[in-house]
Amino acid sequence: MVITTAHIVLGVFIGITFLGMFVLIGIYMYLGYTSMDKILEAVRNCSLINRYRFYLSVGPWGKMVMVGGVASCLLFSGYLIKHGELSKDDIDNFPEPLKGRLLMSQYVGWALMASLAIEVVAVKMLRS
């Protein structure tokens, strides 16, 4: 197999995507250890989050999952409020700086997953 410039460029993009994913994991773990009390206090009436509180006893990965779950609840709050899984008061009373960070992290995570999917398609096209 001959390595072309397209292979090198695609490899750099894949590397950047994986680096971004590891940075996002680090951000979630940081928020899990520094802001978990504020996060759980803000969503204490959310039945969806209360069902998954057992993740807090799993360790660092559980805290990361809880932060990601709360961020997902914030991102899809309209849907969850309509179906009774989330309280509108919890969303309104959520601390704004933390809410912005969690929402931005979710947007970045979705963008990283989309770029990884595009890169997989590009690899398949280069192989054929």
Comparing 21 with 88, the larger pLDDT belongs to: 21
Cα 11 off chain centre by: 24
> Nearest 5°: CA angle at 96, between 95 and 99?
85
Looking at residue 18, its pLDDT comes to: 96
Give me the residue spans of the domains in the chain: 24-115
Q: How far apart are CA 115 and CA 124, in angstroms?
A: 14
Tens of pLDDT, residue by residue over 41-53, are 888 878 888 888 8
Residue 46: both structure tokens together: 């959310």
The pLDDT of residue 49: 85
Q: Where are the alpha helices (DSSP H) in 1-128?
A: 5-34, 36-42, 47-51, 60-75, 77-82, 88-93, 96-127
Question: Do residues 103 and 74 touch, judged by C-beta distance below 8 A?
Answer: yes
CA dihedral 88, 37, 110, 113 (to 10 degrees): -150
- Determine whether 73 is exposed, middle or buried from the number of CB atoms within 10 Å of its CB (0-12, 13-18, 19+): buried
Average of per-residue pLDDT across 6-10:
92
Give tens-digit pLDDT for 52-99: 888 889 888 999 999 999 999 899 988 988 988 888 888 888 899 999
- The model's confidence at residue 113, banded by pLDDT at 50, 70 and 90, is very high
Tell me the whole-structure pTM to 2 decimals: 0.86
